[in-house]
Amino acid sequence: MELRVFYTVVIFIFGLLFGSFYNVVGWRVPKKLSIVRPGSFCPKCKHKLRWYELIPVFSYLIQGGKCRKCKEKIAPFYTITELLTGFLFAASYWVLGFSFEFVLAIITASFFSIVLVSDINFLIIPDQFTLFCSILVVLLRFMFNGVEDALYALASGIGAFLAMYLLMLLGNLILKKESLGGGDIKLMFFVGIAVGPIMSLFTIFLSSFIAFPLSLILFIRSKDNIIPYGPFLLIACFLIIVFKIDLNMIINI
């Protein structure tokens, strides 16, 4: 038990570190900027951040949520992303242990954190995110389960993509406007690879259920609000992986 707690804490810390990096990736890639150069800097005064200003969560708290030089407020959203990534990493290990599903959950949690930043800030899910994470999962399935499982995953991804595309066409017809973004549709390719054809359809239902309260609030405030749907798809996919939700479980509920 003590070793399990130790590993959970270590994985949580790694999640914080990766979450900090995912903030950079999710912010820079949609703007077509390098994720390597220049180093992190304050967007207002261009102050180059030192290593002690980049410690996830702690630097934000110690500096009072402000740039050390110009005192410009730092949005808490990025610290929340770091904490959320750490929590998702730790929860993956706590529930799944070191296993195939654990690695799959970590990839999905990482994809979620990056998309959370890019989709909320820019309403964009760059194709390279989806392609890279999809390739990782296919390779993972090949390494653990062989070529047959990898090919089945690819077929599932294509099926999930087509299902989401048809749903978009139906939504466009009913709403008389664009109902889903292209990034969300391509994202379903990853979901299909990660959880299979049946559960990818359930992912759509579960993500809609999770997104409903926020959607309702935004709709009441303004009918013109655009809701970034990608993060909801990925958190639903993550929950299905971590809690091993399958068709039998759903039927027995």
* CA 78/CA 67 separation, integer angstroms: 14
Question: What stretches of 46-126 show up as alpha helix (H) in DSSP?
Answer: 58-62, 77-96, 100-122
Whether 230 and 187 have beta carbons less than 8 Å apart is answered as yes
pTM of this structure: 0.92
pLDDT tens digits for 93-147? Answer: 999 999 999 999 999 999 999 999 999 999 999 999 999 999 999 999 999 999 9
pLDDT tens digits for 51-96? Answer: 777 889 988 888 888 877 787 788 899 999 999 999 999 999 999 9
Average pLDDT of the residues in 226-232: 87
Whether 156 and 188 have beta carbons less than 8 Å apart is answered as no
Q: Please tell me the total number of residues recorded for the chain in this structure.
A: 253
Banded pLDDT at 248 (limits 50, 70, 90): confident
Buried b (16+ CB within 10 A) or exposed e, 74-104: beeebbebbbbbbebbbbbbbebeeeebbbb
Q: Is the pLDDT of residue 225 over 70?
A: no
On average, the pLDDT of the chain sits at: 89
Average pLDDT of the residues in 214-227: 68
Q: Sign of the CA dihedral 75, 78, 79, 80?
A: positive
